[in-house]
Structure 1
């Protein structure tokens, strides 16, 4: 059985992904508030998700060459610095074009951070990488657990969402100071496909199946993050502040699922574990969607979070393992899958919600879960088939 060693490099990457989680999960409940503030429709407000997709494409395109030139560690720090600058701009600006631009910047630099963390943990931990990546995402969800609560409390107190989201800048500075104080240096990493004259071959089929799986499961997560609060307001009778805070149930479930899942991933192969996780997600959705009162709706979100918790860590671990020596290139391309999920699904859901209401529109999610199950079944075949050299 692989053994996961928690050294200083591991803890630092966990902290880096944790502060990214504060923004990622804090921004979801902010979108409906931006919609109210800017006086837009649900579909127009969903363009902020498209902005995340655009930024993800840019960041994914830039990650591999930057990691080859600067190293994975420096690229991660560059990503965090850019996220801090983008969040400061988002909190300072109000017009729709300005907030969309700020979100593009945040997402682009965020993908540099995410690629650096995933590639670092994959190279640093080898066979134990699925457990390490799961725990890193537990840290992401753990910090993200605070964000909806902070946003909800700030809105309920009349301060608005901006002071809550601005805390991201301070958290990034705190991680940088701690890294300097403890003299933790992230490994540069290596990319054979970055060597002069080397022409990388095609990534194997198993990688691309895992890539599609990341796009589909990412669609589930982002739709919940951006629009679940609206369902809680319209179908479960919750106030705007309470609905925003209630999204912490999703992140709380993800935190618990990833924390425990990291241990389970050392013993259980990724593919059967993914099927179990998708089944739990479907059960949680059924409870959430059928609820007409706050308590069962929030309970359903908690179960959904537990199910969703392992989708991304397991899929990206399989993808990077399948990529072999092209891990940096594969990590960059994985951002494109997030762009597909963030750019298409929430806008489609918002467009449907404008016509039939958010509650009915959420029936898109079981379709995403069914597609994910089909991809996992295909991945079972492709993962263990002979791969191209």
Structure 2
């Protein structure tokens, strides 16, 4: 039997107990790492003197590491329990980040980010699955709360990287902050990890069943969403440097316009979802993201470009939390496996999309290559229309964040 405290399964408001806040904090750490990493790519490329194609290998290897981790996470949770997997994943992620920021050239940074991505998959999948199971009917609401907090961390992270790059501290201070936060969270968690899930729970949950086919359509949509998000966060600084003549530090800090927009989008989405079908929200958010991209791509005046990136961030802000909840809703109760499949699908998208954009930019030019972003959004829109996933009758979608 699980040692998790009993949570009212019919409640639509998340129970913000100690375990939930620790999960929120670790999700925020992961978001800080991901979005700070995007801001460091251009700065690291300047240091190493590499092309965009070579630099994009960092993002691809991080995603490949996440893919491998995602394939192993459900089995690891089944064998050792979510609590132990969370602890090992957090410490290993910190080690990978430290390695990425070490001197030693391209091989060291590539290995470091690969290992951080591998370990981070165990962390992310375990947190998502824990929140969805621990909170019961309020799981999607809790997931949305955690992503809202993570969006704030993702807003602050690039700013710290940019400020560090413009001062004597250097850009690496933005990454080291994550290492400290992850270790502090583990100290606060303490020795008792059973509340997060013990060995064998996954086996009892799935009983040998497999994910339904409809889940894979939701994963295709999720891949398009993450292809859009990480193309922007990995290459947005380059767009600002090329189109607006921003310096390296200013461009890195200005990526906060995307992550800040995502924070607003998740708050906005949580309000709308109390009244509207989530499928309709996702379609509308794609339309808003396309409008924002048009502003960012079509102009060179920096206020308009920043406004466009912010608007795009607002549009894509609901994509990950609603996309994951959509996949889980299609899974027939296979929460851990659906969360792991979402991580694997996302890792593939993150590995391929930014690399393709970077490689294509070396051939046809960066501005033209950036048109891959609206292509991803349009493909997602078509799948949403052709393969809808209706909300479950009476199911909670999202609630006001941090009420």
Query: Shared fold (TM-score greater than 0.5)?
Result: yes
Residue 330 in structure 1 maps to residue 335 in structure 2: no
Within a 5 Å distance, the mapping from 1:134-283 to structure 2 comes to: 134-180=144-190, 186-188=195-197, 194=203, 200-283=208-291
Shift in CA distance, 335/363, structure 1 to aligned 2, threshold 3 Å: same
* Contact 1:191-1:326 at 8 Å conserved across structures: no
8 Å Cα contact 1:192-1:326 kept in structure 2:
no
Shift of 1:90: 1.2
For residues 228-260 of structure 1, give each alpha carbon's deviation from its aligned partner in whole angstroms, at most 9, with x where no partner exists.
Answer: 111101111211111100000111111122234
What 5-or-longer segments of structure 2 have no aligned partner?
Answer: 1-9, 393-403
The counterpart of 1:59, out of the listed 32, 56, 69, is 69
Offset of 1:127 from its aligned partner? 3.2
Change (3 A) 1:141 1:279: same
CA shift at 1:383, angstroms? 7.9
1:111 aligns with 2:121: yes
Distance 1:163 1:326 in 2: 39
1:7 aligns to what? 16
Partner residue of 1:387?
none
Q: Within 2, Cα distance between the matches of 1:221 and 1:186?
A: 33
Distance 2:27 2:50 in 1: 32
| C-alpha spacing 1:259/1:179, structure 2 compared with 1 (3 Å) | farther
Alignment of 1:43-122 (within 5 A): 43-122=53-132
Task: Sort the Cα spacing of 1:383 and 1:259 in 2 relative to 1 into closer, same or farther, 3 A.
Answer: closer
Q: What TM-score do you get using the length of structure 1 for normalisation?
A: 0.92
Q: Distance in 2 between matches of 1:382 and 1:340?
A: 26
Give, in angstroms, the shift of residue 109 of structure 1.
1.0
1:337-385, Cα deviation, whole Å (9 max, x unpaired): 112111111111011111222211111111101001012113316888x
Provide the residue aligned with 2:401 in structure 1: none
CA distance in 2, matches of 1:184, 1:75: 9
CA distance in 1, matches of 2:201, 2:167: 53
Distance 2:52 2:227 in 1: 17
User: 2:123, 2:269 → 1: CA distance?
Assistant: 23
Shift of 1:226: 0.8
Unaligned runs of 5+ in 1: 385-389
Query: Is this contact kept in 2: 1:120–1:189, CA < 8 A?
Result: no
**Relative to total residues, which structure has the larger helix share, 1 or 2?**
1
Structure 2 vs 1, CA of residues 344 and 174 (structure 1 numbering), >3 Å: closer, same or farther?
same
Output the CA distance in 2 between the equivalents of 1:279 and 1:191: 43
Residue 189 of structure 1: CA displacement?
A: 6.3
TM-score (norm 2): 0.89
CA apart distance, 1:116: 0.8
